[in-house]
Amino acid sequence: MIEFLEAIRDFTETGGQVLLVIGLLIFVMWLLILERAMYLMVWHKQAKKQAVTLWDARSDRSSWFAEQVRQKMISELTMRLNGSIPIIQSLVALCPLLGLMGTVTGMIEVFDVMAISGSGNARSMASGVSKATIPTMAGMVGALSGVFASTWLNRMVKSERTHLEDALSIQR
């Protein structure tokens, strides 16, 4: 366990301070993704069952007012379904930008080394190059994993909305 923590520490030192920010951003993004997945799989089913029970208890389901009540129920549940998905999508978009910031800070370090020791010292430039590439890689990995997860969440929300509209149909 200690070796694992030391490897992580060495990796973050190699990538620079921006890598810590990217790691924190990815951690928060995945917490939100897991929260949305839990909502879809557990709490939404209870809310949907309650809405269907309320709709089935209505005697009038065909009037204009009943349709407005139905639309209200669908809209409220859809808003709850969407929850933090816009925040997740914003964090996904932020990951590559922070990776780019890590690239810029790493390249600044390379140029500083070149200015001090001359352009022929490749060994002294290597740490700056690693500080330029590791945050870029981390930002792209975070963005790709977030894109896949947010796409899955969006697809599930659309599917659940369709199921909800069918469950709250007028002809039941």
Read off the pLDDT of residues 125-143 as tens digits, 9 standing for 90 and up. Answer: 777 777 788 899 999 999 9
Confirm whether 46 is domain-assigned: yes
In Å, how far are 13, 22, 62, 102 from 145, measured between CA atoms? 23, 13, 45, 19
Q: What is the mean pLDDT of the chain?
A: 88
Q: How many domains does the chain have?
A: 1
How are the residues of the chain apportioned to helix, strand and coil, as percentages rounded to the nearest 5? 90, 0, 10
- How does DSSP assign 121-169, residue by residue? -HHHHHHHHHHHHHHHHHHHHHHHHHHHHHHHHHHHHHHHHHHHHHHT-
- Backbone dihedral region for residue 118 (phi beyond 0: left; psi -120 to 50: alpha; all else: beta): left
pLDDT reading at 67 higher than 60? yes
Instruction: Supply the range of the domain harboring residue 6.
Output: 2-167
Confirm whether 76 is domain-assigned: yes
Q: Which pLDDT score is estimated for 14?
A: 78
Write down the pTM of the prediction.
0.84
Read off the pLDDT of residues 22-62 as tens digits, 9 standing for 90 and up. Answer: 999 999 999 999 999 999 999 999 999 999 999 988 888 88
* Percentage of residues in the chain having pLDDT higher than 90: 58
Task: To the nearest 10°, report the CA torsion of 87, 89, 91, 93.
Answer: -140
